[in-house]
Structure 1
Amino acid sequence: MLTMFEMLLPLILIVLITLPLIPVFKGKKSISTAKRRMLTHVCCFFAILLVSVFFTATKAHAAMEGAETTVSLGAGLGYIAAALATGLSALGAGIAVAAAAPAAIGAFSENEKNFGKSMIFVAMGEGVAIYGLLISIIIVLMKL
């Protein structure tokens, strides 16, 4: 069971990381300062994330010392593969749609007949995410 400290600590750390970014979002800081602050805060966020995952994993490992484990290493790696398939395909689809959608809007604004053709390219970018989701579902179902 989590204690109150363990539940509030990540929330407090995230608030402490995001508070210095408020002047950047309000426009009171320059762009170079904003880039530097953003890079520092992203690095701090991932460092805190890694530390919290490490402490959670060691606590879970200590709790499972006396218990019998039923999940094998292969099943665990399969779940990680499913998560990576979904996450990376969604990231790729986001990049594809970010490039195709403005071009589709530009083509539609020039000629209304280009709407169907341009939406096909946007849908093809979204198809990448659906394929990744299907692959991850297949991986998870094979592990059951």
Structure 2
Amino acid sequence: MKKRFVSFLTILGMGAAMFAQEAEAAAASGAAAAGAIKYLAAAIAVGLACLAGGMAVGKIGAAAMGAMSENPELSGKALPFVGLAEGICLWGMLVGVLILFK
């Protein structure tokens, strides 16, 4: 099930990249629908990144809290990994901004 879900997310991510390329080509030819495709591509990129980041934070956070309940000294070592998982969302937002302003 997980492999299918990851494959589905990968296909959607590639679809966002294709939408962005199509929007750039349409903008070069002067089509009016280029803006809508560009916004859709940015939304897909940000949405998928936030979905993946939320899944990662949920799993890492649960494991970190479980480890800290057994050994409180691990809090300084476990919590930075949650921050790394949140970085996935920031990268998705960066890609979305780059799609919009290109």
The two structures share one fold, judged by TM-score above 0.5: yes
- Structure 2 counterpart of 1:108, one-letter code: M
User: RMSD value over aligned CA atoms?
Assistant: 1.7
Q: After superposition, what is the alpha-carbon deviation per residue over 1:51-84, rounded to whole angstroms, capped at 9, x for unaligned?
A: xxxxxxxxxxxxxxxxxxx863333222111000
1:138 is displaced (CA, Å) by: 1.2
Aligned residues: percent identity?
37
- How many equivalent pairs are there? 73
Compute the displacement of 1:106 (Å): 1.1
1:118, 1:76 → 2: CA distance?
A: 42
Quick one: distance in 2 between partners of 1:115 and 1:126?
A: 17
Residue 92, structure 1, aligned to residue 52, structure 2: yes
Q: Which residue of 2 aligns with 1:22?
A: none
Q: Point out where structure 1 has 5 or more consecutive residues left out of the alignment.
A: 1-69
Higher RCO (C-alpha 8 Å, min separation 6): 2
Q: Which one is further off, 131-140 or 114-123? A: 114-123
TM-score normalized by the length of structure 1: 0.46
Question: In 2, Cα distance between the equivalents of 1:71 and 1:126?
Answer: 37
CA distance 1:71–1:123, change in 2 (3 Å): farther
Q: How far apart are the structure 2 equivalents of 1:107 and 1:91?
A: 24
Deviation of residue 118 (structure 1)? 0.9
Which structure 2 segments of 5+ residues have no match? Answer: 1-29
User: Which one has the bigger helix percentage?
Assistant: 2
Q: Deviations over 1:77-105 (max 9, x none)?
A: 22111000111100001110110111111
Q: Distance in 1 between matches of 2:72 and 2:31?
A: 56
Helix, strand or coil at the partner of 2:78: helix
Q: Which runs of 4+ in 1 moved over 6 A?
A: none
Instruction: Specify the SS of the correspondent of 1:72.
Output: coil
What amino acid maps onto 1:99 in structure 2? K
Correspondent of 2:94 among 125, 134, 137: 134
